[in-house]
Amino acid sequence: DLYSWHHVTKPLEPYESIVKVKKSVHVPFAYLFSPGEKDLISFLASNDIQMYSLQSDVESEVETYGILNVTPGQDEDKPWQNVDVNVERMRTTVPAGTVVVPVKQAFSNLIPLLLEPQSTWSLCSENSGREYRLERYLREGTEYPIKRLMTTSDLNLKELK
C-alpha cells in the first residue's frame, strides 16, 4: 500500500487493455517509398529502423492505398482519424532509388503501426507527435505515398545510413 507503506497482497484482476484493435492487416514483406520523403527517413532513422535503397529496378507485387475518406474522431481519449482506403494489388516495376523498409527487423511490430494509414499510431495521426506528423499523406482522392511490397523479391539493396 503506497499510503501506509505496509505490504498488501491482492488478487490480480484480469487485465483489460484500453487499446482496441480497429483494423487488422496482412503484414507485407517491406514498405516502399520515395527517397524524397526526407521527414519520413529522418523519423524512421531516429527510431533505429533499418532502411535500404533499391540499387536496380525490380518487377514485384505491390499494394497501394487510395485514400477515399478521412474523418476526424475521438477514440481511447485521443484524437483519431478514420481513414477509408481502396487497396489495389498489382505487379509493377519498383524503380532504383526507392527506399525499402523490411518488416523483419528488430522493431517489426512498430513498423506497421507507424506506416499503415489506418493505424491509430500512424505517422499521419495526431498521436505521432507534432514534429513528425505527416498528415499531408492523407488527402482524399490521392494515393498514399507508402506502398507495400507483398512478396519477397531478389532485391539489390544498399543500407541507408
Chain segment 103-144, per-residue pLDDT in tens: 999 888 889 989 999 887 788 876 655 555 788 888 999 999
> Under the phi-then-psi rule, with left for phi > 0, alpha for psi from -120 to 50, and beta for the rest, what region is 30?
beta
Q: Give the whole-angstrom CA distance, residue 70 versus residue 64.
A: 17
pLDDT at 129: 56
pTM: 0.82
Q: Give the whole-angstrom CA distance, residue 78 versus residue 86.
A: 25
Chain segment 7-21, per-residue pLDDT in tens: 877 777 776 666 666
pLDDT at 131: 54
pLDDT at 38: 92
Please answer whether residues 120 and 76 qualify as being in contact, where contact means their C-beta atoms are separated by less than 8 angstroms: yes
Q: What is the CA radius of gyration of the chain?
A: 19
